[in-house]
Amino acid sequence: MASSEPASIKDRAYTVILKSLPLDKLEEILLLIEKSIEEYLREKLTKYSDYTLIASISRSSASVDLVIDLRVDHCITPRDKCDDVVSDALNYAKRRIEEFLEDLSGEKGMSNKSF
């Protein structure tokens, strides 16, 4: 999800949330990525297709880096179609992560109001 474009307000808010999350929540995000991409690719690829997924999160006081490397092997469609499937799978995972973070920020907002 790295980009040279300026971060949007939402992206900055997501970064703030990611910086504050405990390690178990970051692990949940990695599992969500894996599950989301698997779910998406199961729908779009043939049963003979295979893929490799590597996802990692690194966090420092200044930044949070989320890296997703996805490669589809044995794709039985034209190469450009496979590239579209990979791109769509990554976008699907990104939407799921955003939903997860929005849910977390809503929970934090609610718990702050309770005190």
Query: Where residue 47 sits, what CATH number does that domain have?
Result: 3.30.300.100
Between CA 93 and CA 40, with CA 20 as vertex, the angle to 5 degrees is 10
What total of structural domains would you count in the chain? 1
48, part of any domain = yes
% of the chain with per-residue pLDDT over 70:
82
18, part of any domain = no
Residue 77, domain extent: 23-101
Task: Give me the pLDDT at residue 110, please.
Answer: 40
74, part of any domain = yes
109, part of any domain = no
Task: Give me the pLDDT at residue 113, please.
Answer: 36
What's CA 34's distance to the chain center, in Å? 8
- pTM of the full structure: 0.77
47, part of any domain = yes
Tokens found for residue 73: 């092997």
- What band does 69 get if pLDDT is binned at 50, 70 and 90? very high
38, part of any domain = yes
- What band does 5 get if pLDDT is binned at 50, 70 and 90? low
- Torsion of the alpha carbons at 29, 31, 33 and 37, rounded to the nearest 10: -160
15, part of any domain = no
Averaged over 22-40, what is the pLDDT?
Answer: 94
32, part of any domain = yes
